[in-house]
Amino acid sequence: MLKSVRRFARFTGRLGLSAVAVLGLVVLLLALLVLTDGAAYGLLAWLATLGVGAAVAVWRARRRAGSRRWVPFLPVILAVALAAVVCIPSAPTDRVKPAALPFVTTQQWSLATGSRVAVYHYPPTGSARRATPLVYLHGGPVRSISVLDHRFLQLLARQGYDVYAYEQAGGGRSDLLPMDQYGISRSVRDLAAFIDHLDQGQVDVLGFSSGAVILTRALAEPDVATRVHKAIIAEPGPMDGPTAQATGQQGRPNARNLGPAMSGPRATRIPRYAVAFGLMRLGLLSPETGLIGQAEGANAFEAADLGSDTASAYCAQDAHRIPAEDTPGNFSFSAAASLRIQETIKDSPSIAPQLARSTVPAMLMIAECSSQTRQWATAILDGNPAIDRTQYLPGVGHHMWNGLDNNDETAGAVVDAFLQDKAAPLPNYPTRTDVPAFLQERR
């Protein structure tokens, strides 16, 4: 009995040492991935881990005889096999664009900036055709335009608007850029080049989320702003570095972590992409990381990988009826390129002095249950004297046009009233003088 206990104790001890060895080698791999920025698909880190593990195993095996000499190599083999999974792509490494949408033609425009973007045109179908084209800048920033957004654009076309939308470079069906060319300045130049390519004079622009940031920064650049007739800034992110550092509250409670978990495949359940996206999100790998290429990362990322971020775009009371925003065939998101653009915003100086000189008539749209930091919107309201109307949309989260109830119609009415100089359907709130109370009351 005593011998059995001793054997079990020795076995448990050896098993524990083996587990520690495996864990140590995995930690070493992660550290080397960070130090090398995932160079050569992580193979440099993998080979270095293999070398260290083999050297330790040889040292431990030098005093063993017979078959016991190979025991120290077993944890190394297991750890190296686990590590190899991080270095082997399971998604295509060449770009695979989403299939064509059945309800709208995808055009490809080559812009003067060198970007080649996917363009969607919804001609006016209503009786009252609006004279000025309307350009939509989607959020993301580097993703496909969701089916929900396409439905809202169709609603605007039925109101008489000649609607154009394009997926920003690297997103959706648009061509990739070299990673070091992504940035907020490039996004603004692409907007100017798109309007020039349209060649219909000034346009109205509706910018949503990160698209609202592009629009705001365009208004701060006089040579770009001259192309804009009217601007609608909807649920903006931070417009510059100082704004990105602002802390404060969000809107009324949203549905984050309240509704059912998103279903469907997840790249983050595959070790390679879980490691890559996780380390990028923590800032330990750069967007230019050599671990996964830009095309592979975009091919691998799935809608379910957004997790509770999607739910946070809806009010808490809608947690159990969140609509499907997109189809699996249309969804596309480049985490690395999006992160790169966000970093250039965080690193940019204040644009407040330039924005203060803007003269383009503008409207700000804010959602009641917004997941955006309120100071991101109020900083634009304070800084842009040309904003003469603010619309606080009740009962909606960050994704204001979401197909629920009459939310699309409400948002469409707000857009139409501003562009046609009609009375606002909602109170002009908050005004600049309302901002302190608005923030204090956590509206």
Question: Nearest to residue 209, comparing CAs of 93, 380, 72?
Answer: 380
The letter for the amino acid at 104 is V
Neighbours of 356 (CB within 10 A): 13
Task: Determine contact, residues 234/402, Cβ cutoff 8 Å.
Answer: no
List the chain domain ranges.
Answer: 2-87, 107-440
Cα–Cα distance measured from residue 304 to residue 268, given in angstroms and rounded to the nearest whole number: 9
pLDDT tens per residue across all 443 residues of the chain = 555 545 544 545 454 555 666 677 778 778 888 888 888 888 888 788 777 777 776 766 666 665 556 656 676 676 677 677 888 888 999 999 999 999 999 999 999 999 999 999 999 997 688 989 999 999 999 999 999 999 999 999 999 999 999 999 999 999 999 999 999 999 999 999 999 999 999 999 999 999 999 999 999 999 999 999 999 999 999 999 999 998 888 889 999 988 888 888 899 888 889 889 999 988 898 998 988 999 999 999 999 998 888 999 999 999 999 999 999 999 999 999 999 999 999 999 999 999 999 999 999 999 999 999 999 999 999 999 999 999 999 999 999 999 999 999 999 999 999 999 999 999 999 999 999 999 888 77
Kindly compute the dihedral angle of the four CA atoms of residues 305, 306, 308, 309, in this order, to the nearest 10 degrees. Answer: 170
Cβ partners under 8 Å of residue 268, min gap 6: 274, 277, 278, 305
Cβ partners under 8 Å of residue 246, min gap 6: 238, 373, 375, 376, 379
Task: Determine contact, residues 89/272, Cβ cutoff 8 Å.
Answer: yes
Q: Could you say which of 3.40.50.1820, 3.40.50.720, 3.90.180.10, 3.40.50.1370 is the CATH number of the domain covering 107-440?
A: 3.40.50.1820
Would you give the end-to-end CA distance of the chain in angstroms?
Answer: 71
Pairing of strands 163-167, 203-208: unpaired
Task: With residue 53 as reference, give the H or E element that holds it.
Answer: helix 43-61
Sheet arrangement for strand 163-167: 107-110, 116-122, 163-167, 134-137, 203-208, 228-234, 362-369, 387-397
Pairing of strands 116-122, 203-208: unpaired
Task: Determine contact, residues 84/25, Cβ cutoff 8 Å.
Answer: no
Cα–Cα distance measured from residue 312 to residue 315, given in angstroms and rounded to the nearest whole number: 8
Cα–Cα distance measured from residue 60 to residue 317, given in angstroms and rounded to the nearest whole number: 61
Task: Determine contact, residues 378/238, Cβ cutoff 8 Å.
Answer: no
Angstrom CA distances, 3 to 7, 9, 15, 180, 244, stand at 6, 10, 18, 65, 65
pTM beyond 0.85 = yes
